[in-house]
Amino acid sequence: MRVAIVTGASSGIGQSAAIQIAKRGTGVILTYNSYQSGALDTVATIEKEGGTAVALPLDVGRSETFPAFRESVAAALRETWGRDTFDFLVNNAGVGENALFEDTSEEMFDRLMRVLLKGPYFLTQTLLPLLADGGAIVNMTSNSVSRTTEPGYSAYATMKGGLTVLTRYMAKEFSKRGIRVNSVSPGTTRTRISDNAFERFPEVIPALAAKTALGRVGEPDDIGMVVAVLLGEEGRWITAQDLEVAGGYNL
């Protein structure tokens, strides 16, 4: 059985990606930071549908913990699937903060950098020895890089833009092992990001839907299904691409 690692899979896009990947017969190691109950819900959903999943704690903003995480991954692979490698990595875990350029503190900038750019960079580096040849990676970017330029997101979009560039370099360097690397760039999607902003400010949803060609905001499964396709056989000839999945936002 093939095995995927999905970071930040206790809710939202990560949770959907983990479930959609599992539906295709792939085992899933999913990570959570503070929302353990959500991660256990993800595991329960996968197991209810006949899949296999393991939840492990991980703070992608703390790269010093990555070697210990790799040991936990190796143990889970041996104990659950009888393997010493995995096949797919989804760098999804993230954080959402915004402030106007002149109000962005170094602390906020560094926090976003650690989670959104340094984290995926060094987590992938740490896990690379366990990633099987012929595997695939999906990095979660954002259409704030290419499609939108909303005030307040300069730091966030800078990190996501860096991840988009990193995706191409990963694809180039890992190609000698047959490993494909792509990024998925969601538009506005109904998730828990920014401290459950959609639940706290539902009045913003109609305006966002009006700016979207298909007339609604995105749902986690809109993104999760695409991640599963990119990892699967359908995506076998796709690498070094950033795929916007946004329903035609700002079209």
Which residues participate in catalysis according to the annotation? 156
Answer yes or no: are the C-beta atoms of 222 and 189 closer than 8 Å: yes
- Is residue 243 a contact partner of residue 230, using CB atoms and an 8 Å limit? yes
How many residues comprise the chain?
A: 251
What is the per-residue burial (b if ≥16 Cβ within 10 Å, else e) of 175-211? eeeebbbbbbbbbbbbbbbeeeebeeeeeeeeebbeb
Strand residue runs (E) in the chain = 3-6, 27-32, 53-57, 86-91, 131-140, 180-186, 242-245
Q: Torsions phi, psi of 241, nearest 5?
A: -110, 150
**E-assigned strand segments in 60-174:** 86-91, 131-140
Q: Please give the biggest Cα pair distance in the chain.
A: 52
Candidates 60, 61, 57, 62; CA nearest to 73 is 57
CA 187 to mean position of chain CA atoms: 14
| Cβ proximity of 4 and 88 under 8 Å | yes
